[in-house]
Amino acid sequence: METIADTNWLLTVVVFAPLVGALIMVLIPQEDEQSHKQVALFTSLVTLGLAAFLLIDFNYGDAENLQYFVDTQWIEVIGAGYTIGVDGMSLPLIALTALIMPLVFVYSWNHIPEPGNAKAFLILSLILETGMIGTFVAQDLVLFFVFFEVVLLPMFFMIAVWGGENRRYASLKFFLFTLFGSALMLLSFLALYFLTEADTFSMLVLTENAGEGITRGTQLLVFAGMFLGFGVKVPMFPFHTWLPDAHTEAPTQGSVILAAVLLKLGTYGFIRIAIPMLPEAAEAWAPWIGLLAVIGIIYGALGCLAQTDMKRLIAFSSVAHMGFVMLGIATLTDFGINAAIFGMVAHGLITGMLFFIAGSVKERYHTLEIKRLGGMLAQAPRLGWILGFVSMASLGLPGLAGFWGEFPAILAAYNPAAGVSEQTFRVYMVVAAVGTVLAAGYLLWLLQRTAMGEPSAEFADDPNITDVSTTEWIAWAPLLFGIVLFGVAPGLIFEVTDPAVTQSLDNCITTLTGCEVAEAAASSGSGGG
């Protein structure tokens, strides 16, 4: 295990820096809103700075191994360790989280949602950040579980307190669905602990073990538990129903965090835990995961076409996009999983941005009903163009980030891992390709109805409808830049993730001889740009 002894503390600091900020804010009186905003933004910028240092300091030549690795005892009686580390798979997601949060705080500078109380809102956001980054660095199943759950409470309250009309229903639904999944996931983790000889929660050991010594039937069951836990979070069809409600009711910042990072916890769980630890079960479940993924793609797209509310439409588009991510994962190939990680980052940037826009539209028009909007390009041209640009990115226009998430995932489905039915996945491929057409359909239609045409009579002379403000520019520019950057140079991500993905799949070669063939086939096309 390659470790850089001097900077191993760094990761711990990155994880808990937001929490320190939150603790400081507890001591500041509630009335002093400005200080709260400053502390929150400063904390998140420090975290971003540390994450940036991590990005620079990271040894890219060794991206397949965990770096900044810390492994100490945590709760000895249950064998849980404080084991953290970062490799090529988690690095892009940590960077994404660290980037999104300051933008959220910038946006919050003059957009604290009703009913106010910046203190509580910002503290919850910081706790969320700790939970999210913690999930991506955890290398111990119990630690992972704890961080995975830490995000629940803040998100629940964010929707419950600062949400829209129907927030009670939406927040409870979000909470109950996710807890249901994660409770069963915990059972699976425990089963894994006892079924492997090692008696450990260490992800490294369990990944190396790769389900050895567990009978096939049990593996399938254990995988099913994890599937529920991660699948609800992704969310996969048919567990997706909490998502449109949560997104629609959540405040803008909540939607952005939810779309940009929270959903990735689920897909990350598949890549990091479920598949490498139980490759045999993953292979057996792959066609079903793929099936649900393509159903999600089509269903999400059809759902989008039927929506009358812009935010709800974006939420359904998330279901479709995460379907592509899951399809990539379900192929169990290096190529597909790289595409999935790319898709996660791209979806984070693009959909996060779309929710920012939706928030700003709501603020100006006081409605997100598509048929009441219109002519945005005439009234607020910059806002309209940004919406157009991000829609293009979202529908997978080559040259923008969205393309590299979708296209390789579809391509990977052409040639899934050996042991996974090729025919089935080729059918999925065709269906997914139809999904991209539908995506273009609903996004262009959205653009046409909201941005083009004449402003509706209702809003024609509304002085509230102004163009993009300075805080909005600051909050949005990095996302827009990222969308272009990763669209032009996808290798920036692929080259980081590929070694780690390859290594994690290499493990299954030892357990499943069948994987080897697919590996060879897939690696010829791997590496992306």
Partner 1 sequence: MLAGIAPLFGATEFVRPAIDWHAAAPELTLLGFGALITMIDIGWLERARRIAAPLTSLALLVTLVPIITLALDGNDRSMFHGGFVVDDYSLIMKATFVLAGYVVVLMSTNYIAEGDYWENEYYGLLLSSILGMILMASARDLISIFVALELLSIPAYMLATWRKRDLKSNEAGLKYYLMGVFASAVMLYGMSLLYGASGSTLLVDINDAISVATTLDAVVVIGIIFVVVGFAFKVSAFPFHTWAPDTYEGSPTPVTAFISVASKAAGFVALLNLLFVGFLGRDDIFEPLMWALAAASMTAGNLMALRQTNIVRLLAYSGVAQAGYMLAPLAVAGTVPDKALTASVTYLVIYAAMNLGAFAVVIAVARKTRSAKISDYRGLFHYAPGLTVAMTIFLFSLAGIPPLGGWLAKFRVMEAVIEADTASGLVLGIFVAVNSVIALYYYARIGFGMWAEDAPDGDLTPVNVPLSLGVALTLTALITIAMGVVPGDVVGRFTEVSLLAGG
Of residues 7 and 12, the one with the C-beta less far from partner 1: 12
Helical ranges in 109-151 per DSSP H: 118-137, 141-150
Contacts with partner 1 in 404-443 (CB under 8 A)? none
Min separation Cβ 250 and partner 1, Å: 13
Query: Please, which residue, 193 or 223, has the CB nearer to partner 1?
Result: 193
- Rounded to whole angstroms, the Cα distance separating 35 from 29 reads 9
Among 68, 156, 476, 486, binds partner 1 (CB under 8 A): 156
Q: Does 153 bind partner 1 (CB under 8 A)?
A: yes
CB of 461 to partner 1, least distance (A): 35
Tokens 């000895």 found at: 76
User: Looking at 46-54, 177-185, 337-345, 414-422, which segment touches partner 1 (CB under 8 A)?
Assistant: 177-185
Name which of residues 184 to 213 contact partner 1 (CB under 8 A). Answer: 184, 186-187, 190-191, 193-194
* DSSP class of 270: I
- Rounded distance between C-alpha atoms, residue 316 and residue 240, angstroms: 9
| CA distance linking residue 311 with residue 244, whole number of Å | 8
Q: How far apart are CA 139 and CA 66, in angstroms?
A: 9
Q: Binding residue for partner 1 (CB under 8 A) from 171, 196, 307, 338?
A: 171
Using alpha carbons, list the distances in angstroms from residue 269 to 74, 225, 235: 21, 12, 12
Q: CB of residue 108 vs partner 1: minimum separation in angstroms?
A: 18
For residue 188, report the phi and psi dihedrals to the nearest 5 degrees. -65, -40
Q: Which of 183, 305, 488, 520 binds partner 1 (CB under 8 A)?
A: 183
Contacts of 152 (CB under 8 A, 6+ apart): 175, 178, 179
- 33 binding partner 1? (CB under 8 A): no
Q: How many positions of this chain bind partner 1 (CB under 8 A)?
A: 34
CB nearer to partner 1: pick between 127 and 295? 127
Cα 82 from Cα 146, distance rounded (Å): 11
First-to-last C-alpha distance (Å) of the chain: 29
Does residue 113 have a cis peptide bond before it, meaning omega lies within 30 degrees of 0?
A: no
Q: Which is nearer to partner 1, 74 or 473 (CB)?
A: 74
> What is the Cα–Cα distance from 277 to 84, expressed in whole angstroms?
17
Largest CA distance in the chain: 71
Q: Which of residues 44-103 bind partner 1 (CB under 8 A)?
A: 75-78
Euclidean distance between CA atoms 417 and 521, whole angstroms: 9
Please state the closest distance from residue 292 (CB atom) to partner 1, in A.
Answer: 21
Exposed e or buried b per residue across 14-25, where buried means at least 16 C-beta atoms within 10 angstroms of its C-beta:
bbbbbbebbebb
Based on CB atoms, which residue is closest to partner 1, 133 or 483? 133
Compute the radius of gyration of the chain from its Cα atoms.
22
Place of tokens 């399938």: 220
Give 168 or 371: the residue with its C-beta nearer to partner 1: 168
Judging by beta carbons within 10 Å of its beta carbon (0-12, 13-18, 19+), is residue 461 exposed, middle or buried?
A: exposed
Q: Please count the CA atoms within 13 angstroms of the CA of 230 that sit on its side-chain side.
A: 27
Please give the residues from 114 up to 133 whose contact with partner 1 meets the rule CB under 8 A. Answer: 120
* Binding status of residue 167 toward partner 1 by CB under 8 A: yes
Least distance to partner 1, CB of residue 76, Å: 6
When binding is defined by CB under 8 A, the residue of 23, 31, 57, 176 that contacts partner 1 is 176
Note if the bond before 287 is cis, omega within 30 degrees. no
Residue of 4, 24, 45, 152 interacting with partner 1 (CB under 8 A):
152
Residue 175 engages partner 1 in binding (rule: CB under 8 A)? yes
Piece of the chain touching partner 1 by CB under 8 A; list 149-157, 246-254, 474-482, 510-518: 149-157
Q: Which is nearer to partner 1, 163 or 455 (by Cβ)?
A: 163
Q: Is 160 in the site for partner 1 (CB under 8 A)?
A: yes
Query: Per CB under 8 A, does 16 bind partner 1?
Result: no
- Should residue 161 be labelled a site residue for partner 1 when binding is judged by CB under 8 A? yes
- Among positions 172, 430, 485, 521, the unique one binding partner 1 when judged by CB under 8 A: 172
The residues with which 75 forms a beta bridge, in sequence order, are 80
The only residue of 33, 62, 149, 363 in contact with partner 1, by rule CB under 8 A: 149
Least Å distance, CB 509 to partner 1, is: 29
E strand map for 64-203: 67-75, 80-86
The one-letter amino acid code at 104 reads V
142 sits near partner 1 (criterion: CB under 8 A):
yes
Q: What is the rounded distance in angstroms from the CA atom of residue 528 to the CA atom of residue 489?
A: 10
Q: Which stretch binds partner 1 (CB under 8 A): 53-61, 150-158, 208-216, 476-484?
A: 150-158
Least gap, CB of 80 to partner 1 (angstroms): 9
Nearby residues of 183 by Cβ (< 8 Å), 6 or more positions away? none
Residues of this chain that bind partner 1 (CB under 8 A): 30, 75-78, 120, 142, 145-146, 149-150, 152-153, 156-157, 160-161, 163, 167-168, 171-172, 175-176, 179-180, 183-184, 186-187, 190-191, 193-194
